[in-house]
A = this chain, B = another copy of it.
Amino acid sequence: MATAAQKKRATRGPRRAGGRSTRERILDAAERLFAQRGFHAVSVRDITQAAGVDVALVNYHFGGKQALFEDVFMRRAAVLNEERLRRLEAVVQKSAPRPPRVEAIIDAFTHPLLDRSARGGPGWKAYFALIAQVNNSTEFGGLMMTRYFDPVVHAFIDALRASMPGCDERDLYWSYHFLSGALTLTFAETGRIDNLSRGLCRSSDLDSVHERLVPYVAAGFRALCLRSAAQRRRDAARRSPRRTSTAARAAT
């Protein structure tokens, strides 16, 4: 009756010594196919056939197609979150007691992802293409991304807030939103920029993306936050108009 997923804790080791277990074979095949074609375009039989196992094993090991999808999504999320927090903390420690530069924070956020997508093997590559799909879907986007990634995102937004004091809260969140969109489209690797640039840029060249995404996004963050800080200063001056402060310079 109950899926084997619950009682999986007290099980013996995987059957086939040396090779991947059945669970892992299914997860790998599902990851690849879901990323390539999307959740609804892939059948359970597609997955089990690619994994070389029986159709019924998806329901036995995971409980169903939807549950398998969430397990695929979950599997690598913990690894990512851990390294991202570790990197963030290292960046903060290194520049203490002053807050780190915006670039360093963005880098701690994006590098663990882009580096794995570029050099982590086909599994990671497929995983990020899957993330790109989930993040932009109204079906899963709001719920799954929130559930698995928002705690880490909050930590990064806290760090950015400390690095840009006086920044409007909404500017912070929308700036992150733009970063998330740019990063997400990158992971999709649709090949559109290849066509658009007539081969000058390649979707798969994630190193080129990273060395540009960080300064691009950092400049965007600063532009919004300096603007809102200036606006706040103007409002304050309007409320108590003793000094006229025309110099609106702020150190980054």
A residues sitting closer than 8 Å to B (CB atoms) are 35-41, 129, 132-133, 135-139, 141-142, 145-146, 150, 153-154, 169-171, 173-186, 188-197, 200-201, 208-209, 212-213, 215-224, 227
Contacts and interface: CB of A to CB of B under 8 A. Distances in A.
Given A40-B41, A181-B181, 10 more contacts: A36-B138, A136-B185, A138-B189, A142-B195, A146-B192, A176-B196, A177-B193, A178-B185, A216-B220, A216-B224
Contact of A224 (B36, B146, B169, B212): B212
Given A177-B186, A178-B182, A184-B185, A170 B40 contact: no
B220 A190 contact: no
A220 to B, nearest CB: 4
Given A174-B193, A177-B182, A182-B178, A188 B40 contact: no
A177 B210 CA distance: 13
A101 to B, nearest CB: 14
